[in-house]
Amino acid sequence: MNRRRMIDGGAAALLAAALALALSLWPPFREIESRIFDVLSTSWPPAVASGGPNDTVIVAIDEPSFSEIGMRWPWPRSLHADLVRSLRAAGAKAIGLDLIFAEPSEADEDFALAASLGPDVVLAADRSLIETPQMSQLVRTEPLAALLTGGARVGFATLPLDADGTLRRLPAESDAFARALLRIIDQSAADRPARAETLLVQALGPARTIPTVSYYQALDPAAFLPPDMFKDKLVLVGRSLQSAVSAESGGPDSFATPFTLRSGALVPGVEVHATIIETLRRDLVIAAASPALAAATIAFAALLGFACAWRPTDRWTGVLALVLFIGLFAVSFALLKTTRFYLPPLAPALAGGLATVAIGARDLAEERRRRREIVKAFSLYLAPEQVKRLVAEPQALKLGGETRRLTILFSDVRNFTPLAEGLKDEPEKLTLLMNRLLTPLSEAVFAQGGTIDKFIGDCIMAFWNAPIEDEQHAVHAVRAGLAMLAAVERLNEELRAEVANPAEVPRLTIGVGINTGLCVVGNFGSEKRFDYSVLGDAVNYASRLEGASKLCGVPLLLGAETARETETELGPVLVDRIAVKGRSEPELVYTVLPGPPVHPCERAALDRLVRALLDGATTVEVSFTDPRLRPFYERIQAREMARQAPQASKKEG
């Protein structure tokens, strides 16, 4: 990975971590994280303990009890006294009355209740914060002092609710109702530390998950309940309606818990206290990550997101980001279930996702920039369709050079020097003329999918099969050469039509040389300036073919490899045997006649005759069916006779 990408990726990870950390402090976001805790903590919760010593049982003030007892609420305190004595007689270790007896009732009723209470009983108290524009006041509501003369204890039943009204945190106070009741049987469990922000309650289930009996049954357990129902148990007494109160309607002494998200119902307060007792007694307390650890996790997740985008962005980047996102939730769930430690996964997952997206966006912008550069660079060399294909398939472009079999074309204007000399006083006309010539020649290359390497004055160099692969590169190059010759003829006609005396217009002609062979193609030059070009012997030979075309008497000259690859499609015919610098033996060269391909039989006959002429044979009379072949053969005869004449004279001398 280059340094620039490291810097950009690190900056993206840092920004992603900062944004995720800021969001984690936003109340709506924290509420979403709380709901995620609700889902994770209530998935496969611990089983509810029942039947063992110190287990918890709830005595519910419920609808059947109202029906059986037949009295309106509040019930006489002497009835509660009877319940306490009945539970104690049934073997209850500790009894918690989640009822607040703050106001006196009839004297004998208060006396009866006070006489039944002892050190094994905890009475509920309450405190609430009343805030006004002028002041904040903490109001404490405690049981009558007369009820505590027998040694009964007091525990505050106030519950620490989150901003959304859901109970998730353990009460921090040492005199909380659940702790006070648990302290009767297990001092160490009751005194477990409880920092309100970091210790959470383990919800065991919806309403009535903890074993519950009706109030009227507990008054006479021998008649209504199994033996030893209350033996060695912690018993909580409080309102608990059998018909669950919905979260929308609410109700007295009912609270939302993590299970409310699943059931949609509130849980009675007495069962909430029982759940807190079970959480402390069975050491099911969930320790939440501290703010510092949560922030460190967010930063680490952002780095993991950066790692997901370590390589250039592709579909695997998205897969890795998804694995990271799911993995963080899986790790959070595994920690929660195995170590009772809760690490909020949403903010870290968001940090990792944002880091990956940011780096992916950077890569996308970089890719678009590179595509623009490709379009800008190759639009000068390629046809628009080829540029579009190259942009769609950038893998087709291998920078730095590669060996590939190409077909190279050189075209040059004949007698350009005299033409330029004649227009030396009118450079604008010369420029206009060359532009009018080079434009259709370039279009001929583009039309056949070629790449223009460069313009060298009046010369064009082009090649096929790079950067886009072209299986028919030789055929397309030759067709481009034929189209160039036709374009020059059309331009000559246009120029003659534009003047009064056509004889004054110089006739433009070009020579075209085409060769096929192995080349090295790629970007060549310095680090700051380079060109996409080709190098190799095949390139040099193509250039020499263009120069030799005039000596061979044809406007289009092909190397033997090009002729071999276009034999079926274009029917090239033998023209000459030439010797070029750098090659030890003369080589055969070919051309393609305008019109349909020459029939293979006549092409073979012509080949034999031309070879005979090249070997010094005299004129041979032959007939051709194709009307193009006799004039062509006669020109070759005349050329060879002209070549042989000086040699004959030299021998005679």
| Tens-digit pLDDT profile for residues 163-212 | 899 999 998 888 999 999 999 998 888 787 755 457 899 999 999 999 99
Query: pTM of whole model > 0.85?
Result: no
Question: Residue 589, Cβ neighbours under 10 Å: how many?
Answer: 26
**249 band by pLDDT with thresholds 50, 70 and 90:** very low
Q: pLDDT tens-digit profile of 386-405? A: 566 666 666 555 555 789 99
pLDDT given for residue 153 in this prediction: 95
According to DSSP, residue 395 is labeled G
Mean pLDDT of all residues in 531-539:
88
- In whole angstroms, give the CA distance from residue 60 to residue 56: 13
The full set of domain ranges for the chain reads 3-26+290-371, 47-283, 393-597, 600-653
- In whole angstroms, give the CA distance from residue 295 to residue 17: 8
**443 band by pLDDT with thresholds 50, 70 and 90:** very high
What are the residues whose beta carbons fall under 8 Å from the beta carbon of 124, sequence distance 6 or more?
96, 97, 98, 99, 100, 143, 154, 155, 156, 157, 177
Q: What are the b/e assignments for 218-229, b being 16+ CB within 10 Å?
A: bbebeeebeeeb
3-class secondary-structure state, position 469: coil
- pLDDT cut 70: percent of the chain above it: 88
**DSSP-assigned states of every residue in 480-546:** HHHHHHHHHHHHHHHHHHTSS-GGGSPPP-EEEEEEEEEEEEEEEE-SSSEEEEEESHHHHHHHHHH
If you average pLDDT over every residue of the chain, what do you get?
87
According to DSSP, residue 388 is labeled H
Fold of the domain spanning 393-597: Alpha-Beta Plaits (3.30.70)
Amino acid, single-letter form, for residue 319: V
pLDDT reading at 81 higher than 50: yes
Amino acid, single-letter form, for residue 269: G
**314 band by pLDDT with thresholds 50, 70 and 90:** confident
**246 band by pLDDT with thresholds 50, 70 and 90:** low
Strand-by-strand arrangement of the 286-288 sheet? 199-200, 286-288, 341-342
Lowest mean pLDDT among 136-145, 503-512, 613-622: 613-622
What's the count of helices (H) and strands (E) in the chain, helices before strands?
A: 23, 20
Mean pLDDT of all residues in 5-10:
78
Question: Residue 302, Cβ neighbours under 10 Å: how many?
Answer: 30
According to DSSP, residue 42 is labeled T
pLDDT reading at 311 higher than 80: no
